[in-house]
Structure 1
Amino acid sequence: MEVTTHRGTGPLQQVIEIGPHRILTDVAPQFGGEASGPEPHDILAAALAACTTLTVNLYAKRKGYALDEVRVGIRHGQEGAAYALHRTIHYIGQLSDDEKARLTEVANKCPVHKTLSGQINITTEAN
């Protein structure tokens, strides 16, 4: 799947197209934008949160765990030389401590987590 972007209607607004889906991204007014959508780093954090909840829900369903809901929060920002993502997971349901621990192990193996934790190669072509 290819993701494309192009200028939106605001001074710095961008339209992200992912297949048939469209998402706006922007920056805050203090940076020249209009805050008409999440900033790009927010979308990155959202990808980790969404992948975590999807992966945990799929695993819990397959194992028959009494997981009613999983909520994930991501705090993110620059910390020294590194960009940091701090994830908090809240499991809602009748789960044992062992089941919660296993779900956390599974969360750490979600595809986006693995991608962000591994080596990433970016190639650029310009024309």
Structure 2
Amino acid sequence: MTIKLSRSDSGKFRQLLQIDQHELVADARFDPESDSGPNPHDLYDAALAACKAITLLMYAEQARIPLEDVHITIDRDSSEERSGKYHLHVGLVLIGQLDPTQKDRLEKVAAKCPVHKLMTTVETTITTTCEAIQG
């Protein structure tokens, strides 16, 4: 899978992201004029919410747990990001006729979604290649 990014014709910092057949927008969100989409931190945090929801729904279906829907809120505290601390608070709302054991199981499953693991336990290596083109 390759993600391709190009600068948008509209907006000073607006970027177009192409992921297979899907197109997303990212922007800097410094001011109302440059707020045409989520910023990169928003996309990072949103990946966690989406992964948790999908993981929970898939698990519940497979385990025959009567989970009807999942609502998730992510609250970010990035005030200490420059010193190496980035805190995300995840609020899970599980909708369905769940008994306490099922609720507890689903809460544990949510903590094991792949993006949660990437954010908390995996060492990520980034290799960048750079090419300059005369424009």
The match for 2:26 is: 25
Q: CA RMSD in A?
A: 1.4
After superposition, the C-alpha distances for 1:61-91 in whole angstroms (9 at most, x for unaligned) are 1111111111111111314221222111110
Q: Is the 8 A contact 1:24 1:38 kept in 2?
A: yes
The one-letter amino acid of 1:124's match is T
Structure 1: which 5+ residue stretches go unaligned?
A: none
Q: Is the 8 A contact 1:48 1:112 kept in 2?
A: yes
| TM-score, normalised with respect to structure 2 | 0.87
Matches within 5 A, 1:1-127: 1-8=1-8, 9-30=10-31, 34-80=34-80, 81=83, 82-117=85-120, 118-127=122-131
Cα shift at 1:58: 0.5
Runs (4+) off by over 6 Å: none
| TM-score, normalised with respect to structure 1 | 0.92
Q: Secondary structure at the match of 1:95?
A: coil
Instruction: Give the greater-gyration-radius structure (CA).
Output: 2
Percent same amino acid among aligned pairs?
37
Number of equivalent positions = 126
Q: Is the 8 A contact 1:12 1:33 kept in 2?
A: no
**Which structure: greater strand fraction?**
1
Structure 2: which 5+ residue stretches go unaligned?
A: none
The one-letter amino acid of 1:38's match is P
- Aligned equivalents of 1:77 and 1:18: distance in 2? 28
